[in-house]
């Protein structure tokens, strides 16, 4: 691959062995509590020190990406080793980490460069720089496949920040995530560092770019990536972000125990609140409600896949799929035949591919591979009704009082045994919470009271359930 940049920090700043690296990041994700934002995510702030020092703080940002999907990610970092005016946009090849090569989105990079007066490709800005690369393994574990645009700021003046933010905001779609790479204050006492850093955090939560830049210029706050933070804030606001949340703050003293000279780290998110931001979110920040248009399109995809298999005709051509349909979401497809009889039900608990692809695959599996039923025949098409359940990410619980019958589905595991029941099943049979738990245990092949066992894991999820009888599919 032309323009392939090899890792310059694998084995030092983060583990160089791919298995160890992936396990390390997964362990960090498992260790920290679930975090969410109430809306559509546009940008993140993440630190760029070695994983031993700032990895746990970074994990708070990247755990947000689980179950989401972005076509491209723009990573903005400061230059530590080369000085140049403006910003350097890497526009070719890809970056290699132990987890594989992340391809550069050359088209997006070209659009960004064409819109800025201080943007160019400066090789020295990227050759030894760690602030961009250190974000990639987290993104590779959280997102899987994606393209990206690496940007390194040679100077972080107001003019450079404004130029880059405008170029980014004018070049991207809603399927692109912006990541600002920055540590905070350096080598002050713990008390003094926290005072300085909290000023930065307050500006972030207030989305006060002017206040942030003024403090950085006066020296009342510090951030080695103050420019990337400002650019992320500016671009996010131009793209409709009206909410900001600091997800985690810590400093190196929290890891080393040495409070005399610390380095500060923070994770933060920028997002769209309100109806537009929340239309894909349910209660408590759980991903849920799809728009009417998205539901119609998913039902068309499901029926089109089944009809194509039965008739030999090509599947209908889809319009451009974006937004929630590109998020990696779990989903079940349920088929009912004549008289409302169950005809098949197959699903995927966790999203491994974009939602529209998951629905297509589960529709085919429900129609032709459910072991409880013979394959659907062509003669059944006219009487076939399709229902889709789009799941939120699983959340483990310790207190069964968190289960709300009618809202939550249950997934139970113990050893090699597992079973899942969708939220609508409890409503259909009129079960209360305990009956729902017992039936899920039986579905898993366990005794009905197995949910009480300390070795049993109980997960809940919500589902956006809709079918052809609820949504008008033309």
| pLDDT tens, residue by residue, 169-180 | 999 866 899 999
Q: Give the pLDDT confidence score for residue 462 in this predicted structure.
A: 87
Q: What is the mean pLDDT of residues 190-206?
A: 94
Say which residues have a Cβ less than 8 Å from residue 297's Cβ, sequence separation at least 6.
318, 319, 321, 325, 356
- Band of residue 283 on the pLDDT scale cut at 50, 70, 90: very low
Rounded-to-10 torsion of CA 287, 288, 291, 297: 90
Say which residues have a Cβ less than 8 Å from residue 206's Cβ, sequence separation at least 6.
244
Q: Are 400 and 440 in contact (CB under 8 A)?
A: no
Q: Residues 370-407: pLDDT tens digits?
A: 988 999 999 999 899 999 999 888 888 989 999 999 88
Half-sphere exposure of 269 (CA within 13 A, CB side): 24
pLDDT at 308 over 90: yes
The values of phi and psi at residue 370, to 5°, are -75, 115
In the predicted model, what is the mean pLDDT of the chain? 89
- Band of residue 202 on the pLDDT scale cut at 50, 70, 90: very high
**Three-class secondary structure of residue 79 per DSSP:** coil
For the entire predicted model, the pTM comes to: 0.62
Residue 35, judged by CB atoms within 10 A of its CB (0-12, 13-18, 19+), counts as middle
- Band of residue 323 on the pLDDT scale cut at 50, 70, 90: low
Q: What is the DSSP string of 142-197?
A: HHSS-EEEEEEES---HHHHHHHHHHHHTT--TTEEEEEE----EEE-HHHHHHHH
Tokens of 426: 């409890």
Q: Residues 106-156: pLDDT tens digits?
A: 999 999 999 999 999 999 999 999 999 999 999 999 998 899 999 999 999
| Residue linked to tokens 């170029």 | 167
Say which residues have a Cβ less than 8 Å from residue 271's Cβ, sequence separation at least 6.
37, 38, 39, 40, 41, 42, 241, 243, 244, 245, 277
CA distance 353 to 32: 24
Q: Give the pLDDT confidence score for residue 1 in this predicted structure.
A: 55
Q: Give the pLDDT confidence score for residue 145 in this predicted structure.
A: 87
Could you give the domains of the chain? 4-278 (3.40.830.10), 284-467 (3.30.700.20)
Say which residues have a Cβ less than 8 Å from residue 56's Cβ, sequence separation at least 6.
28, 31, 32, 248, 250
Total residues found in the chain within this entry: 474
CA distance 371 to 346: 10
- Dihedral of CA 377/378/382/386: which sign? positive
Q: Range with the lowest mean pLDDT among 249-258, 278-287, 328-337?
A: 278-287
* Number of Cβ within a 10 Å radius of residue 318: 13
* Number of Cβ within a 10 Å radius of residue 5: 22
Q: Are 293 and 72 in contact (CB under 8 A)?
A: no
Contacts for 342-345 with beta carbons within 8 Å, 24 or more apart? 342/373, 343/367, 343/373, 343/376, 343/380, 343/384, 344/370, 344/372, 344/373, 344/376, 345/370
381 Ramachandran zone, left/alpha/beta (phi>0; psi -120 to 50): alpha
CA distance 168 to 235: 7
Strand runs labelled E in 254-363: 262-272, 331-336, 342-348
Could you tell me which residue, 9 or 339, shows the higher pLDDT?
Answer: 9
pLDDT at 366 over 80: yes
Q: What is the mean pLDDT of residues 336-354?
A: 86
Q: What is the DSSP string of 334-383?
A: EEE-GGG-EEEEEEESS-SSBHHHHHHHHHHHHHH--TTSPPPPGGGGGG
Q: Residues 47-84: pLDDT tens digits?
A: 999 999 999 999 999 999 987 888 899 999 999 989 99
pLDDT at 270 over 90: yes
Q: Range with the lowest mean pLDDT among 151-160, 162-171, 342-351?
A: 342-351
- Band of residue 37 on the pLDDT scale cut at 50, 70, 90: confident
pLDDT at 285 over 50: no
Q: Give the pLDDT confidence score for residue 291 in this predicted structure.
A: 80
pLDDT at 224 over 90: yes
Q: What is the b/e burial string over 77-95, where b = at least 16 CB atoms within 10 angstroms of the residue's CB? A: bbbeebebebbbbbbeebb
Q: Give the pLDDT confidence score for residue 320 in this predicted structure.
A: 63
Q: Are 186 and 258 in contact (CB under 8 A)?
A: no
pLDDT at 298 over 50: yes
């Amino acid at each position: 691959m032309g323009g392939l940049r090899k890792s310059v920090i694998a084995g030092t700043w983060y583990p160089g062995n791919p298995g160890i690296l992936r396990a390390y990041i997964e362990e960090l994700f498992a260790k920290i509590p679930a975090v969410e934002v109430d809306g559509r995510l546009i940008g993140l702030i993440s630190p760029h020190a070695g994983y031993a020092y700032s990895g746990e703080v970074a994990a708070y940002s990247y755990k947000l990406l689980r179950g989401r999907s972005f076509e491209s990610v723009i990573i903005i970092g400061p230059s530590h080793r080369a000085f140049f005016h403006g910003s350097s946009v890497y526009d070719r090849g890809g970056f290699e980490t132990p987890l594989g090569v992340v391809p550069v989105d050359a088209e997006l990079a070209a659009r960004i460069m064409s819109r800025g007066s201080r943007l160019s490709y400066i090789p020295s800005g990227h050759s030894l720089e760690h602030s961009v690369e250190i974000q990639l393994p987290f993104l590779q574990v959280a997102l899987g496949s994606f393209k990206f645009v690496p940007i390194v700021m040679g100077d972080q003046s107001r003019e450079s920040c404004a130029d880059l933010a405008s170029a980014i905001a004018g070049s991207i779609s809603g399927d692109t995530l912006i990541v600002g790479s920055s540590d905070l204050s350096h080598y002050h006492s713990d008390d003094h560092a926290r005072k300085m850093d909290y000023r930065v955090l307050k500006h972030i939560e207030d989305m006060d770019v002017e206040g942030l830049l003024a403090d950085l210029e006066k020296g009342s706050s510090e951030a080695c990536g103050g420019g990337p933070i400002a650019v992320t804030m500016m671009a996010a606001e131009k793209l409709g972000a009206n909410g900001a949340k600091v997800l985690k703050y810590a400093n190196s003293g929290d890891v080393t125990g040495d409070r005399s000279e610390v380095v500060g780290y923070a994770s933060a998110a920028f997002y769209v609140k309100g109806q537009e931001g929340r239309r894909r979110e349910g209660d408590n920040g759980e991903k849920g409600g799809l728009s009417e248009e998205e539901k119609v399109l998913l039902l068309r995809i499901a029926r089109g896949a089944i009809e194509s298999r039965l008739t030999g005709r090509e599947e209908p051509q889809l319009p451009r799929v974006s937004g929630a349909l590109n998020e990696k979401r779990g989903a079940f497809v349920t088929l009912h035949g004549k008289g409302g009889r169950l005809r098949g039900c197959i699903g995927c608990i966790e999203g491994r591919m974009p939602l529209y692809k998951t629905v297509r695959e589960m529709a085919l599996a429900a129609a032709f591979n459910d072991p409880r039923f013979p394959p659907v025949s062509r003669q059944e098409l006219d009487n076939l009704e399709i229902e889709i359940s789009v799941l939120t990410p699983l959340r483990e619980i310790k207190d069964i009082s968190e289960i709300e019958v009618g809202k939550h589905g249950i997934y139970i595991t113990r050893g090699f045994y597992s079973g899942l029941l969708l939220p609508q099943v409890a409503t259909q049979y009129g079960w209360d919470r305990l009956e729902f738990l017992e039936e899920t245990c039986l579905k898993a092949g366990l005794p009905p009271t197995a949910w009480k066992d300390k070795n049993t894991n109980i997960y809940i999820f919500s589902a956006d359930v809709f079918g052809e009888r609820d949504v008008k599919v033309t």
